[in-house]
């Protein structure tokens, strides 16, 4: 085990896969000469050269389309969006080409492509640079969506995504790139489609993903001081979603809170609540609660940012609400 930052773990994943498979390449804005907008690709141009670490114009639709076409012809591109807010310019390529080509071609074409980059709020970046689109993309058949929360699972999920024969979106957090954590030595992959229990408990199940895992764990530590034992599930994979791990936890705790950074309407909380009502209704002793961002574009003012985003206080209130039915 070694201690790496989140950006170092992602870089290691990409570099290892590019050494292993010459079909893998990285393309996006500032990934080469500038070493990446967040320095995730630092040093990769020097090792792999300009044919495999490729700077692009500010044209997400264009270079996403180049990636999809090259994947159809046998390459394995990693397309970096400087932020997933900019992926909206390329959403036609992701949704209508990458996700559907295998089915529409009758299985003649696979699209082994990775779209990756930061998602969600990252401080005072205001309304158009602070959005969480995990539920948008996870709504689409033909795509896989993962959301790492630590350097270790960032590396393991990204390596699995690069090897997957299907389009995979790896949705990171800009605020986590400097986070440090222990990463296993040697070959290390995390299967797509399996959640992880990051904290065991018996009173309430708290389901979350991405950087909200750290909010969940902070709230759980505070609740533990009051004798409330919270089980935290890190989904890791959002499509496919690991329903079984959630159900088994709720069978034990009989209560559930879903925490996510997206807006409340059509968020993952609705899907998880529906699933629990149909597959674990008899085990629920209280209605499922959710904690999301406020239903408004993100403001610029820092006090309003803090009011907009989920935080440990709001999570503890939701946990107590399902525990005491108030």
- Residue ranges and CATH numbers for the domains of the chain are 2-183 (3.40.50.970), 196-324 (3.40.50.920)
Strand runs (DSSP E) across 179-302, as ranges? 180-183, 196-199, 204-208, 230-234, 237-239, 256-259, 289-291
pLDDT at 186: 86
Residue of 307, 265, 308, 254 whose CA lies nearest to 290: 265
pLDDT at 122: 86
Per-residue pLDDT of 102-150, as tens digits, reads 999 999 999 999 999 999 998 888 899 999 999 999 999 999 999 999 9
DSSP-derived pairing of the beta strands 144-146 and 237-239: antiparallel
The answer, yes or no, to whether residue 308 has pLDDT greater than 70, is yes
Q: Are 166 and 201 in contact (CB under 8 A)?
A: no
Q: CA–CA separation, 238 vs 13, rounded Å?
A: 20
Going by C-beta distance under 8 Å and a sequence separation of 6 or more, which residues neighbour residue 139? 266
Q: CA–CA separation, 97 vs 207, rounded Å?
A: 32
Q: CA–CA separation, 260 vs 309, rounded Å?
A: 9
Q: CA–CA separation, 53 vs 31, rounded Å?
A: 7
Q: CA–CA separation, 219 vs 233, rounded Å?
A: 13
CA–CA–CA angle 49, 115, 170 (5° rounding) = 115
Can you read off the two tokens belonging to residue 204?
A: 């309430």
The answer, yes or no, to whether residue 307 has pLDDT greater than 80, is yes
Backbone angles phi, psi at 118, to 5 degrees: -80, 145
Give the gyration radius of the chain's Cα atoms. 20
Mean pLDDT of the chain: 96
Q: CA–CA separation, 240 vs 141, rounded Å?
A: 10
Per-residue pLDDT of 21-52, as tens digits, reads 999 999 999 999 999 999 999 999 999 999 99
Q: CA–CA separation, 74 vs 70, rounded Å?
A: 6
pLDDT above 90 as % of the chain: 95
DSSP-derived pairing of the beta strands 180-183 and 2-5: antiparallel
The answer, yes or no, to whether residue 91 has pLDDT greater than 70, is yes
Q: CA–CA separation, 28 vs 49, rounded Å?
A: 14
Q: Are 115 and 142 in contact (CB under 8 A)?
A: no
Residues classed as catalytic: 60, 129
pLDDT band at 325 (very low <50, low <70, confident <90, very high): confident
pTM of the model: 0.96
Going by C-beta distance under 8 Å and a sequence separation of 6 or more, which residues neighbour residue 144? 161, 164, 166, 167, 168, 169, 192, 237, 239, 240
Q: Are 204 and 257 in contact (CB under 8 A)?
A: yes
pLDDT at 326: 55
Per-residue pLDDT of 216-243, as tens digits, reads 999 999 999 999 999 999 999 999 999 9
Element holding 17 (H helix, E strand): helix 6-20
Element holding 157 (H helix, E strand): helix 151-163
């Amino acid at each position: 085990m070694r201690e790496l930052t989140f950006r170092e773990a992602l870089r290691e994943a990409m570099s290892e896969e590019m050494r292993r498979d010459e079909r893998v390449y990285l393309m996006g804005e500032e990934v080469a000469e500038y070493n990446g907008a967040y320095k995730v690709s630092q040093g990769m141009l020097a090792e792999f050269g300009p044919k495999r670490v490729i700077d692009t114009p500010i044209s997400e639709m264009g270079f996403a389309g180049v990636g999809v076409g090259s994947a159809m012809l046998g390459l394995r591109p990693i397309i970096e969006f400087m932020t997933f807010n900019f992926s909206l310019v390329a959403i036609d390529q992701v949704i209508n080409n990458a996700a559907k080509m295998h089915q529409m071609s009758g299985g003649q074409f696979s699209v082994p492509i990775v779209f990756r980059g930061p998602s969600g709020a990252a401080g005072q970046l205001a309304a158009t640079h602070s959005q969480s689109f995990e539920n948008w993309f996870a709504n689409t058949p033909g795509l896989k969506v993962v959301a790492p929360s630590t350097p270790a699972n960032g590396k393991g999920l990204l390596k699995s995504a690069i090897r997957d024969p299907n389009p995979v979106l790896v949705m990171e957090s800009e605020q986590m790139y400097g986070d440090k954590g222990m990463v296993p030595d040697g070959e290390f992959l995390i299967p797509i489609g399996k959640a992880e229990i990051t904290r065991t408990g018996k009173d309430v199940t708290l389901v979350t993903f991405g950087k909200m895992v750290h909010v969940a764990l902070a709230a759980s530590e505070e609740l533990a001081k009051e004798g409330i034992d919270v089980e935290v599930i890190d989904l890791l994979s959002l499509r496919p979603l690991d329903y079984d791990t959630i159900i088994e936890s709720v069978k034990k705790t009989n209560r559930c809170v879903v925490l996510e950074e997206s807006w409340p309407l059509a968020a993952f909380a609705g899907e998880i609540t529906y699933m629990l009502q149909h597959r674990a209704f008899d085990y629920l002793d209280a209605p499922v609660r959710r904690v999301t961002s406020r239903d408004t574009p993100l403001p610029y003012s820092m006090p309003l940012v803090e009011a907009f985003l989920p935080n440990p206080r709001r999570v503890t209130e939701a946990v107590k609400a399902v525990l005491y039915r108030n």
